[in-house]
Amino acid sequence: MSLRLSTVILPYLRWHEGGRSAWQRAEQLGFHTAFTYDHLSWRTFRDGPWFGAVPTLTAAAAVTDRLRLGTLVTSPNFRHPVTLAKELISLDDISAGRVTLGIGAGGTGFDATALGQDPWTPRERADRLAEFVPLLDRLLTEDSVTSEGTFYSAHEARNIPGCAQRPRLPFAVAATGPRGLRLAARHGQAWVTTGDPKLYETGTPEQSVQAIRGQAGKLADACAEIGRDAAELDKILLTGFTPDRGRPLESLDAFVDFAGRHAELGITDIVIHWPIPDSDFAADEKVFERIAMEAPAQLR
C-alpha cells in the first residue's frame, strides 16, 4: 500500500479570512485527510483566535467533496460520549461519510482545567479514556444506549439513524502506553503516534525511529492478545513532535527521506502541519505544496 499524506489545519483563522480557502486548497493538493485539533485553546495560540473543531469540520465538509476530515485528537478533557456521539453522527451525515475520529487521553494543557476541574493524573486520564471509547463505540453503533459507568453514563441515549459510515465512523486511537494500545487494538481502525515525547528536546532522529518501532511492536502484541492482525490498523504518524521537528519540510528530498524511513516501520499515513508563519509550524508554502503534490508518487 502506498504511504498516504495528510495535513493538520489548526483552527485559528476566521472562516472568511483564510479558513475556508485552506481546507479547499488541501483538497486541491490531494491530501488524503485534513485534520484539526480538538482543543478549547492550545499552547502559544491561547491568546489569539481559536475556533471549535466540530463546527470547523462541518464547514469544511460543506466546501469540499473528496477530502476526508477528522480530529487529532478529541479527548475526555472536555467531551462527554453522549453529546459527542450526536455531533459526530451529524458531521458524518453532512460530509457523506468522510469523518475519522482521532481520539486520545488528552494532556495537562488548558483543556484540562477549563471546566473548573483539577488536572487529571496520567492514570486518571487513562481510566477515563478506557471508559469513554467503548461507550462512544456503542453510541455510534446502537440506536439506543443505556450504560452506568464510573465516569460516563447514558440513559436511553438515542442516535438514529447512526453514522453514514457503517458500522460507524473509524476511530484513530492515539496511544503509546499499554492501556491505550489495548484500546487501539480492540476499537481502533487506526493508531496514532507522535513519537516519544522524551526524545523531542535531546534525542536524535535515529533514536526516534527506534522508539516508534518499539511502539508499533507493542501495538502488534496488543492486537495478538485479542487475536487481531495488527495489519488491519492504519498507523498514523503526526509529525512535528519528533527530534526532526520541521526539517522534513525543508525540501522535497528531506521529506521523502523522512517518510520513507517511517514507512519501513509500518507507518501508513504521515500527517504534516499546514504552514503557520511565526510559529513552530512555519514552513515555506511552495515547498509544502510541492511535497503534497510530488512526495506520494515517490513513496509508492
**Buried b / exposed e along 207-234 (16+ C-beta atoms within 10 A):** bbbebbeebbebbbebbeeeeeebeebb
pLDDT grade for 1, boundaries at 50, 70 and 90: low
Residue 119 is predicted with a pLDDT of 95
- Hey, how many other C-beta atoms are within 10 angstroms of the C-beta on 235? 23
What average pLDDT does range 211-237 have in this prediction? Answer: 98
Percent of the chain with pLDDT over 90: 99
Distance CA 291, CA 3 (A): 13
* pLDDT digits 0-9 by tens, 14-41: 999 999 999 999 999 999 999 999 999 9
Residue 2 is predicted with a pLDDT of 81
Across all residues in the chain, what is the average pLDDT? 97
Q: 10: domain CATH number?
A: 3.20.20.30
Q: Is the pLDDT of residue 102 over 80?
A: yes
Please state whether beta strands 99-103 and 68-74 pair in parallel, antiparallel, or not at all (unpaired): parallel
* pLDDT digits 0-9 by tens, 55-90: 999 999 999 999 999 999 999 999 999 999 999 999
How many domains are there within the chain? 1
pLDDT grade for 207, boundaries at 50, 70 and 90: very high
Distance CA 284, CA 38 (A): 25
